[in-house]
Each structure stands twice: as C-alpha cells, then as structure tokens.
Amino acid sequence: MGIESSCDETAAAVVRGRTVLSDEIASSADVQSLYGGVVPEIASRAHTEAVSAVVERAVKKAGIGYGDLDAVAVTYGAGLLGALLVGVSFAKAFAYALNKPLIAADHIRGHLAAAYTCAPDLEPPFVTLLASGGHTAVLYAESEGKFRILGATLDDAAGEAFDKVARVLGLKYPGGPNIERCIREGNGKPVIPMPKMLKGGGGYNFSYSGLKTAVINYCHTMEQKGLPYSKADVAASFQCAAVDVLVDKTMEAARETGVHTVTAGGGVAANSYLRQRLSEACEAAGLRLVLPEKRLCTDNAAMIAAEGAVQYRLGNFAKMDLNAKASVPLAATLGGH
Ligand code: KG4
Ligand code: ZN
C-alpha cells in the first residue's frame, strides 16, 4: 500500500509487484484554486478528513483484504509538513494495527518509480527526465535504488515556471494544465521570441528564471503601451521554450550515456507537448520511451506504492519514530536511504 499526502492530494493505492491494483485520490485543488495556490492549513485539514476513507477505498478496489497487504509505504518528504504528518501518522497507526512493515517513501523517488508501473520489464540503466513543481533534472538510473544527477535547474523548476507564467496570464493554479487549455484557444505556434534556454551551454543544467522574466516583461510592456496581445500566443511561446530544452537535454544525455531507454516523471511530464516531443525524439533515435500515463505523472499514490515496492525489495524499512520532512536534498533522495 502507498499513502501520499505531501501537497493537496490525499491518495492511497495498492500495487502488486509493478501492477497497480487500485489508485484513489481525493483532491482539495478546487478549494485551493480559490486562493491562487496551496494553503497548507487547508491542505492538512482536507487530508485529515479524507485519508481514512481513501485508504479504505484503495483496499476495497484492489479486491483484497487488509491482511493481504505486505507493507505500508508513506511519503515522509518532501512536502508541506502539516500535510505530510497526516499521512505519516495514519500510515504508522495503520501498519502497527496490521502488524505490517512501514516504509518511508521519498516523494520525488515516487515520481521516478511511476515508470515501473507501466513497464514490468523496465530495468536500469536508463536516463530519466524529472520535471515537477520543485525539481527539474536529468538523471542516470544506475540501479533500482540509485540515481545520478547529470544536470539540474540552477534556479526555478519547470513546473514552477508554468505556475508563475500562468499567474502572470491570469490563469488559475495549477499552471500547467491551465496553460495547455489556454494554448488551445490559439493556433499553438511559438510566435513570440523567447530567450535561449542554456541550449548549447550549461551542460545538462537548466535555467528558467530568464524565461519567466521575459514573459513578465512582454506582458507588462504590452499592457503599458496599451497594446492588445494574445494570451494563447504567449502561453504557446513559453511552453515551446520551456519544453524543447527539456527534451533536447534528455536526448543528449541518453546519447552520451549510451542507454537504450528514456523515462520521465513529475507533473510536467503530463504535458501533451512534452510527451509528443519526447516520443518523436525517442522514435527518431531508436530509443525506448517509458512514459507513465498522465495521471501517474502528477501526484498520486500508485507511484508511492511502486517506490515502496522498490524499498521493500531492498530491505529498507522505517521505524515507528519516522518523522515527516519538509525538505529532502536531491542528492539524499537519489542515493537511497
Ligand atoms: O509533480 P507534481 O504533481 O508535484 C510536485 O511534486 O511538485 O508537479 C506539479 C507541477 C506544477 O507546477 C504543475 O503546474 C505542473 O506540475 N504540471 C504541468 C502539467 N500538469 C501539472 N505542467 C505542464 N503541463 C501540464 N499538463
Ligand atoms: Zn509531486
């Protein structure tokens, strides 16, 4: 069983090996969008109200009994502390009551483990694009338990850039899907020039702050001059610049490391343009692409259960004094426990 409560989604799921048996989510996103972002106290209260029923539903829909579970994995970090504590406290009591082992799952490793749920035969080494709200990195998977950072963002994460640009365009949180919706109102072409995104230089590193500033400057200049502009054009131009560099650097990393497989994870991997560009690039390069379905890219518990299964095989179990952590350094995340 996997339990996830790091942000505004209360989720529980059951996996058997790499097969997802159930995947339940209760979200407070509708309430949060009234405030333009996630309000931690609202998230914690919503988790408290939802967690018990969501876990019960996940077990029922998996078609098993509580006693059939082998272990209980829970996201212990990174995330909103109060929100995480709801999941961690529930998971401890649940595991204790069932006399099953408890597993501390790292949220970002969960995003990476999502790929395993859609490819039973996926084995390292492979190159992974991690693009979430807090992280953007190209990683080399050495083994199930160990990833190496090839490059990462020097400032904002890709998802953060989507969220900030959405706000500038007057679109609601979360930015990614709303930017995609906005783009569909235009012709989708990147007609507004955007800054070069560390394309040749920077190795596998990224920088999103210049792109975000360029969008802000463009909108403000047009508004000051009293000139009309198309939000859909701005959104499309931003999306191309933000996504193309992710695809280019991931493909370059795959070429250089000589892997045969590329995977991706994190909320931004749900982006349709990114998914299309990555699949075209992998097909052209003769590489296998393992792309979790969209709902497994954004926050969910199947990925936490999948990461729990990885840690279970590695024999990494948590004690009952497990605490939640608001932040976990990426290096610690990637090296295992
Ligand atoms: O991985 P995630 O669900 O949570 C974190 O662990 O951070 O990522 C959330 C981020 C948000 O910044 C959101 O705007 C972005 O992923 N996102 C998207 C899309 N769906 C979610 N970005 C671009 N296109 C999408 N369709
Ligand atoms: Zn996430």
pLDDT grade, residue 337 (50/70/90)?
A: very low
149 alpha carbon to ligand 1 midpoint, in Å? 20
Task: Report the relative pairing of strands 102-106 and 261-265 from DSSP bridges.
Answer: unpaired
- Tokens of residue 287, six digits: 């590489």
Whose atoms come closest to the Cα of 243: which ligand? Answer: 1
CA distance linking residue 48 with residue 271, whole number of Å? 30
pLDDT grade, residue 331 (50/70/90)?
A: confident
| All domains of the chain in start order, with CATH | 2-111+296-329 (3.30.420.40), 124-294 (3.30.420.40)
Contact assessment for residue 236 and residue 221, using Cβ atoms and an 8 Å cutoff: no
pLDDT score, position 199: 67
Q: Whose CA is nearest to atom 8 of ligand 1?
A: 267
- Tokens of residue 211, six digits: 């792109």
Q: Whose CA is nearest to atom 14 of ligand 1?
A: 176
Cα–Cα–Cα angle for 121, 127, 131, rounded to 5 degrees = 110
pLDDT grade, residue 32 (50/70/90)?
A: confident
CA distance linking residue 82 with residue 47, whole number of Å? 10
pLDDT, mean of residues 6-20: 96
Tens digit of pLDDT for each residue in 173-232? 889 999 999 999 999 999 999 998 776 667 899 999 999 999 999 999 999 999 999 999
Q: Whose CA is nearest to atom 18 of ligand 1?
A: 176
CA distance linking residue 229 with residue 278, whole number of Å? 30
CA distance linking residue 109 with residue 72, whole number of Å? 16
Cα→Cα distances 165→71, 189, 199, Å:
41, 17, 20
175 alpha carbon to ligand 2 midpoint, in Å? 14
| CA 192 and chain centroid, separation | 28
As a whole-number percent, the residues of the chain with pLDDT over 70 amount to 99
pLDDT score, position 300: 98
Task: Report the relative pairing of strands 2-4 and 9-16 from DSSP bridges.
Answer: antiparallel
- Tokens of residue 134, six digits: 């807090």
228 alpha carbon to ligand 2 midpoint, in Å? 36
